[in-house]
Amino acid sequence: MHDYVYHDRKMMKWMPFNALLEQGEYIRDLLEGREWIDMPTLSPDQEAELNYSLEQAYILHQDVTVTYYEQHKLHTVTGRITRIDVYNKFVFIGDASLTAHQITAIDIL
């Protein structure tokens, strides 16, 4: 008797529905929507704590791990804060530049 191993076709079984444009866009949005997360809302206390951690790490030249929100996902960057643009609200960590509105968490290493 042969040993049969079932291989799931995952989303290949839905590809015939991709023939119609509306269904193809709907399926793509459905698949991408599974991975999307909403931007976390921060309370004024959390924003003040982030601001304090940011200032402390910049003044004391400490390495940080910053979690930021971009394109419906959370990303992290680790490094030293090289510059802060107060007027345009940008934070520069190494080669990366982030807006202050994207930052959700700062961990000082």
Q: pLDDT value at position 25? A: 74
pTM score: 0.68
Confidence band for 9, pLDDT divided at 50, 70 and 90: low
Q: pLDDT value at position 62? A: 92
CA distance 58 to 77: 15
CA distance 57 to 59: 6
> In CATH, what class is 44-108?
mainly beta
Domain residue limits, the chain: 10-38, 44-108
Burial class (CB in 10 A: 0-12, 13-18, 19+), 74: middle
pLDDT digits (tens, 9 = 90+) for 43-102: 999 999 999 999 999 999 999 999 999 988 899 999 999 999 989 999 999 888 999 889
